Chain A
Amino acid sequence: MKLSRLFLVLAIGTGLFSACSKDEDTAVVIPPSDGSQLTLNGGGGTGSPNTVYVDFSSDSTATRARASWSLGFYSGSSYRVILNGFTATSAVALSKTDISTVNIDDTAGVSLAIGQGAGTLSMIDDVFGDLTKTVIAEVSATASSNHVYLVKPENASAADPATWYKILVTRNGDGYTLQYAKLKETTIKTVNISKDNKYNFTFFSLDNGSTVNVEPKKTEWDIAWSYAAYYTATLPYFFSDFVVINQYAGVTAAKVDSNTVSYNNFTATNIAAQTFVSTRDAIGSSWRATTGNGIYKNFYYIVKDANGNYYKLKFVSMGLNDGGTRGYPVIEYKLVKSAS
């Protein structure tokens, strides 16, 4: 072969190597939003540090450190105590009713490890928010009938019971009395907690020994976005990007498939056809997958607030392949029908 032909082949070969293989994107037109958009300040990441309460009617959010509280004392007519379900808090009842007799020996054989396949649903409150199914039984008017509970906050160690708390709740007139201490502590702290009818719960931090401002007034929030206790199959599982509704104030929500009626076309006339759900997980995790797809763009929600206003709500981005940032979800909503 002649050398010139060889060079020709080489030249062609080199040309092919440098060929550009990136197919460019064509221009797209993005329709503007016609509702209100809010970016929720979750604090970033999959286990975002904040819970964000959203009030549609005032276009406002309230951001709270989700681990800032341990227990919530119900302000309604019943005497109920919830665990912080926005953290991996677990608890178990002891047979003892005298908190002063409970010490580290009572943790023998007790595991409060939870998550990653560990633990049982009996260690957390009802994942649907039913207040009659909390870990801590209804506080009895008979003080001696109330049992001592072991509580392991999210930041405590499952392997070291000395980091756990023992608690005992009794009634105090129209309110509660909480006695608590860490398991190796000899001094039992006592605090009285009263009910405030403007709020769903009064929140208390065992670590700080004080009540905490967490939820806005019960008529001033509709949904909350947070890392939260939920379940898969028979096991407790903690979900990132979980959305609860303000069920205790009467908020309900319905999930709509946009193949039935699109978000833009949804009007007040479509409300009657929806099935509204009043459990904590009415929105829950059903709007997104945390692996792969991210937000299910074919679903949106109709939220009825405590005053009877109907809003349509869609999730714009959550940070999974949707141009958003994880832990800073963006939502969009629009009033569909005002309370008359």
Chain B
Amino acid sequence: MRSHLIVLGLSFALCNDAWAQSVRPAVAATVIADSVRLHDVVVTGQYAPQSLKQSVYQVRTISGEYMKLRGATNVLGVLDNELGVRFSNDATLGETDVEIMGMSGANVKILLDGVPLVDRGSTRQSLTQIDINTIERIEIVEGPMSVVYGTDALAGVINIITKKYHGGKQLSVTARVQEETVGKEYAAFSGKGIHNENLGIQWGRNGVFAGGGITRNDFGGWSDTLTGRRKAWKPKDQLIANGSFGYSNDHLKVWYRLDYLDEDIISKGDINFDNGKATDQHYLTDRYTHQAQAVWQVNKDLSVNGTASYQQYKRVTRTTIRDFANNTEVLSPDAGAQDVSKFNTVFFRGTAQYTLSPVWSFQPGIEYRRDGSSGERILGTPDISDYSLFLSAEIKPIHWLNVRPGVRLSKNSVYDAPPVIPSINTKFALRSNLDLRLSYARGFRAPALRELYFYFFDASHSIKGNSDLKAEYSNSITGSASWQAIQDGPVRVGVTATGFYNDFNNRIDIATINGSDTSTYVNISKFKTTGGTLSGVLNWKALQVNAGVAYIGRYNQFSDDETYNKTYPSPQFTWTPEVNANITYRFSKIGAALNLSYKFNGERPAYEEVTATNAPAFIHEVRTDAFHQADFTATKNITKYVSINAGVRNLFDNTNISNSTLTSGQAHTAGGILPMWYGRSYFAGLSFNWNSRK
């Protein structure tokens, strides 16, 4: 363990209030009954923290309590049950990307207390590099939020809200140990299996607060059918730490927080018995996410927020050749075998919230962002600066109507930024227990540094970035109806229906311009998604059931392709159904709870172009298998301070799912199977929570 980490680990982290534009004490930890009444407080995209019911956006929340009920050790471990959320695993790199409502990670914005997290490419690694033990809740907003959050927020926003200080005098210590098998592989506390430990301290007194935490997440990898040193799922060791401090009084709250990550993904090669050597790789990631935030309630009508962040993200690829005959290890001289890629981001966002009258409120804001990068396959050491102004208004002409128009103006130092990004969100309280939300928004995704400055030339690649790229943009229409059908009595029921249509243009793809032998990124393709969800929640005494269905359509580009749409007609959308259910039963007398979470990810069709020798190319339907996933967890308090949990993950024993792609003689057709999970696994954990609060 490195020395500066020890210092960090011993320092104290904050338990500040929400990202929160308000310094008023936040509502105490939400109780489960609120899931029907929609009293849960949310902050994403809000002028001030407010209840789900009042929010002009349709927001989904994942509570800290639910994370505990699932025995989750990372964010993906709770997102997996969400409708419209799917993962794709990259077995080579040992990384997982997230998809929301049919759109991949590049279109999803990951925020930590409102601060956008840096990722090196389109894969959202950041989501797996956050300590779940520091999270109070997760808020998910579907659909574009580009007016407030800028680029990448097309498919939606995942805002991770850390645990906060709720005023008064407080000292708390939390610790957690959880051990888990990976399929049938397990060794106690290190090596095979999953090993998680966490330690956290939070302190607050007279408005001064501080806190800290440190977590180890070790994943031993999974061999699947391999028998040598190589593993199908790469082992991954993470050390995550955070520290923070701040001050709050009735009018002002300021805090600083640092999140640190040290990650090592280990790819061991099989021994080559012809030369007695093996090639090993490590992907080493270091991340420092600094943030400072301030909330100032100037008077009852005006508040001001400032958020500043500096992030450093370094990823090292280290390749070594180990000689087993004489037990030596040397660095591999191959191209790309040793690499250091660096990314750094300076970010500032300032907003003011001004209430002119009961009808009119405004939120003007400014945002500045500067991204820098260097590394192999990046031409030079480019940096991009982005300047934005945004303004929205909240208009409540009558008590049942809330209209929020907004606009964002951007200027970018490199690419041609979309000058005006508009949105309008509306909420109609049709009845006291029935809300309808309709919105139109334009979203955009700025070209990534990689797309602007990529540089990769070797025997079979000639790819160059394109600094003339424009932003991708989308036009989105979303609607939802939320009905708190039964709010009182022993049985409470809530139902929500949503629908969406997104039309994406100027999508950036790699293409070869006619007459050139170099590929580059161009604004060429289109994409569309559409679909809807229907979900319900039911509370009856100690039982809570959440269940829903989703039906999501993804655009099939061949339907509009003139080469093919006559000979091989194919539909404009390919549809995938999903079903989820979450059943929790509490034994309050003995302090125990059972949770069963289930999700069905339906078969996913897609179309591909197949080229063959001596035959014309044709269009072929590819089907990716459906799969069921379910986890079962039991939790019980042993003493006032100690609780235990145990459970089974992946009850259906999923491993790889098959995909009916045809091998077209393309160089990189993976085809055949997709790694989904590593078999049924079992876990048990112990957590300790000591709290002195006055």
Of the candidates B175, B177, B666, which one forms a contact with A10 in the assembled complex, judged by CB atoms under 8 Å apart?
Answer: B175
Q: In the complex, A291 Cα to B336 Cα: how many Å? A: 14
Q: Knowing A234-B611, A319-B334, say if A19 contacts B177 (CB, 8 Å).
A: no
Minimum CB distance partner of B272 in chain A: A322
Q: Decide if B269 is an interface residue (CB 8 Å cutoff).
A: yes
B-contacting residues, A201-238, CB 8 Å: 227, 232-235, 237-238
Docked-complex contact B216 and A323, CB < 8 angstroms: no
Q: Knowing A116-B462, A118-B517, say if A314 contacts B274 (CB, 8 Å).
A: yes
Q: In the complex, A17 Cα to B321 Cα: how many Å? A: 29
Q: Knowing A21-B237, A47-B458, A232-B665, say if A16 contacts B177 (CB, 8 Å).
A: yes
Question: Residue among B92, B187, B271 with the most chain A CB within 10 A?
Answer: B271
Q: Decide if B115 is an interface residue (CB 8 Å cutoff).
A: no
Docked-complex contact B613 and A323, CB < 8 angstroms: no
Docked-complex contact B279 and A322, CB < 8 angstroms: yes
Q: In the complex, A21 Cα to B641 Cα: how many Å? A: 29
Of the candidates A48, A158, A232, A330, which one forms a contact with B516 in the assembled complex, judged by CB atoms under 8 Å apart?
Answer: A158
Q: In the complex, A167 Cα to B611 Cα: how many Å? A: 33
Docked-complex contact B275 and A19, CB < 8 angstroms: no
For the complex, count residues of B whose C-beta is within 8 A of A. Answer: 66
Minimum CB distance partner of B176 in chain A: A13
Docked-complex contact A316 and B459, CB < 8 angstroms: no
Which of the candidate stretches B30-38, B156-164, B190-198, B416-424 sits at the interface with the other chain? B190-198
Q: In the complex, A14 Cα to B175 Cα: how many Å? A: 10
Q: In the complex, A51 Cα to B476 Cα: how many Å? A: 55
Question: Residue among B276, B459, B612 with the most chain A CB within 10 A?
Answer: B459
Q: Decide if B688 is an interface residue (CB 8 Å cutoff).
A: yes
Q: Decide if B324 is an interface residue (CB 8 Å cutoff).
A: yes
Q: In the complex, A3 Cα to B233 Cα: how many Å? A: 42
How many whole Å from A29's CB to the nearest CB in chain B? 9
Q: In the complex, A227 Cα to B458 Cα: how many Å? A: 11
Q: Decide if B427 is an interface residue (CB 8 Å cutoff).
A: no
Q: In the complex, A316 Cα to B237 Cα: how many Å? A: 32
Minimum CB distance partner of B268 in chain A: A25
Docked-complex contact B459 and A317, CB < 8 angstroms: no
Q: Decide if A321 is an interface residue (CB 8 Å cutoff).
A: yes
Docked-complex contact B519 and A116, CB < 8 angstroms: yes
Chain B residues with CB under 8 A of A22: 191
A-contacting residues, B174-209, CB 8 Å: 175, 177, 187, 189-192, 195, 197, 199
Q: Decide if A113 is an interface residue (CB 8 Å cutoff).
A: yes
Docked-complex contact A46 and B458, CB < 8 angstroms: yes
Q: Decide if B262 is an interface residue (CB 8 Å cutoff).
A: no
Residue-wise interface mask of B (123-156) relative to A, using a CB-CB cutoff of 8 A (1 in contact, 0 not): 0000000000000000000000000000000000
Docked-complex contact B333 and A325, CB < 8 angstroms: yes
How many whole Å from B644's CB to the nearest CB in chain A? 14
Q: Decide if A30 is an interface residue (CB 8 Å cutoff).
A: yes
Q: Decide if B379 is an interface residue (CB 8 Å cutoff).
A: no
Minimum CB distance partner of B196 in chain A: A16
Chain B residues with CB under 8 A of A33: 274
Q: Decide if B490 is an interface residue (CB 8 Å cutoff).
A: no
Docked-complex contact B275 and A316, CB < 8 angstroms: yes
Of the candidates B92, B239, B334, B459, which one forms a contact with A227 in the assembled complex, judged by CB atoms under 8 Å apart?
Answer: B459
Q: In the complex, A113 Cα to B516 Cα: how many Å? A: 6
Residue-wise interface mask of A (303-340) relative to B, using a CB-CB cutoff of 8 A (1 in contact, 0 not): 00000000000101101111111110010100000000
How many whole Å from B89's CB to the nearest CB in chain A? 15
In which size bucket is the chain A interface?
Answer: 35 or more
Q: In the complex, A265 Cα to B329 Cα: how many Å? A: 32
Residue-wise interface mask of A (15-54) relative to B, using a CB-CB cutoff of 8 A (1 in contact, 0 not): 0111111110101101101000000000011111000000
Q: Knowing A18-B1, A23-B192, A33-B274, say if A326 contacts B517 (CB, 8 Å).
A: no
Docked-complex contact B214 and A17, CB < 8 angstroms: yes
Minimum CB distance partner of A235 in chain B: B611
How many whole Å from B457's CB to the nearest CB in chain A? 9
B-contacting residues, A94-125, CB 8 Å: 111, 113-118
Minimum CB distance partner of A227 in chain B: B459
Chain B residues with CB under 8 A of A115: 460, 462, 517
Docked-complex contact B191 and A237, CB < 8 angstroms: no
Q: Decide if B356 is an interface residue (CB 8 Å cutoff).
A: no
Q: In the complex, A111 Cα to B92 Cα: how many Å? A: 37
Q: In the complex, A320 Cα to B175 Cα: how many Å? A: 43
Chain A residues with CB under 8 A of B612: 233-234
Residue-wise interface mask of B (91-125) relative to A, using a CB-CB cutoff of 8 A (1 in contact, 0 not): 01000000000000000000000000000000000
Minimum CB distance partner of B189 in chain A: A19
Docked-complex contact A317 and B641, CB < 8 angstroms: no
Q: Decide if B332 is an interface residue (CB 8 Å cutoff).
A: yes
Minimum CB distance partner of B91 in chain A: A292
Docked-complex contact A9 and B175, CB < 8 angstroms: yes
Chain A residues with CB under 8 A of B82: none
How many whole Å from A70's CB to the nearest CB in chain B? 18
Docked-complex contact A322 and B269, CB < 8 angstroms: yes
Docked-complex contact A325 and B177, CB < 8 angstroms: no
Q: Decide if A273 is an interface residue (CB 8 Å cutoff).
A: no
Q: In the complex, A118 Cα to B274 Cα: how many Å? A: 38
Residue-wise interface mask of B (334-363) relative to A, using a CB-CB cutoff of 8 A (1 in contact, 0 not): 110000000000000000000000000000
How many whole Å from B619's CB to the nearest CB in chain A? 15
How many whole Å from B520's CB to the nearest CB in chain A? 11
B-contacting residues, A253-302, CB 8 Å: 290-292, 297
Minimum CB distance partner of B322 in chain A: A323
Q: In the complex, A116 Cα to B519 Cα: how many Å? A: 8
Q: In the complex, A197 Cα to B76 Cα: how many Å? A: 69
Docked-complex contact B275 and A17, CB < 8 angstroms: no
How many whole Å from B236's CB to the nearest CB in chain A? 10
Q: Decide if B278 is an interface residue (CB 8 Å cutoff).
A: yes
Q: In the complex, A227 Cα to B459 Cα: how many Å? A: 8
Q: In the complex, A197 Cα to B605 Cα: how many Å? A: 60
Docked-complex contact B279 and A321, CB < 8 angstroms: yes
Docked-complex contact B274 and A13, CB < 8 angstroms: no
Of the candidates A27, A46, A111, A322, which one forms a contact with B275 in the assembled complex, judged by CB atoms under 8 Å apart?
Answer: A322
Q: Decide if B690 is an interface residue (CB 8 Å cutoff).
A: yes
A-contacting residues, B212-269, CB 8 Å: 214, 216, 218, 220, 229-230, 237, 239, 269
Chain B residues with CB under 8 A of A240: 459-460
Docked-complex contact A116 and B335, CB < 8 angstroms: no
Q: Decide if B653 is an interface residue (CB 8 Å cutoff).
A: no
Docked-complex contact B190 and A21, CB < 8 angstroms: yes
Docked-complex contact A19 and B273, CB < 8 angstroms: no
Q: Knowing A30-B324, A159-B515, say if A233 contacts B458 (CB, 8 Å).
A: no
11 A–B pairs (Cβ distance < 8 Å), ordered by A: A21-B218, A21-B237, A45-B334, A47-B459, A113-B517, A116-B512, A237-B667, A240-B459, A317-B274, A322-B275, A323-B321
Extra pairs beyond A48-B459, A118-B517 (13, CB < 8 Å): A13-B199, A16-B177, A88-B517, A113-B512, A113-B515, A234-B617, A235-B611, A238-B459, A290-B667, A322-B272, A324-B279, A325-B332, A332-B274
The 3 closest A-B pairs by CB, nearest first: A323-B277, A47-B459, A30-B276
